[in-house]
Amino acid sequence: MQHNAERPACYPIFLICLFLLFLAINLIYWFTVPGYHFPIADVIGYGILALTYVISHTRFTGLAVTILLLMFPLNVFQNIGEGTSINLAATLSAR
């Protein structure tokens, strides 16, 4: 097991970049698409990203990575279930 001083700093930076990228995409949609609202799946995804960021600063970094890996398929399926995806094939191939 690695100590905190030996743990690479790239994982938290990666999480911040993902958070900002997804937020920028949603904001662009919000400003340019009339009637657009943030899908529940995306809001939950932001919460999961924030949670994984906090967990990544503890000794449970492996858990944070696992949560992040599970977030993506869950987000896609929740978008499909919520009906925010018009085309199922496009949603599965674009994410």
Domain membership flag for residue 23: yes
- As for how many domains the chain has, the answer is 1
pTM over 0.75: no
pLDDT in tens, 53-65: 998 888 888 888 8
In terms of DSSP H, where are the helices of the chain? 10-32, 40-55, 61-82, 88-94
Name the DSSP letter for residue 5: T
Domain membership flag for residue 1: no
pLDDT in tens, 2-36: 555 555 677 788 888 989 998 998 899 889 988 88
Percent of the chain with pLDDT over 70: 78
Q: Is the pLDDT of residue 79 over 80?
A: no
Range of the structural domain that residue 44 is part of: 10-94
Higher pLDDT, 2 or 78: 78
Residue 72 backbone phi and psi in degrees, to 5 = -65, -50
Domain membership flag for residue 4: no
Domain membership flag for residue 3: no
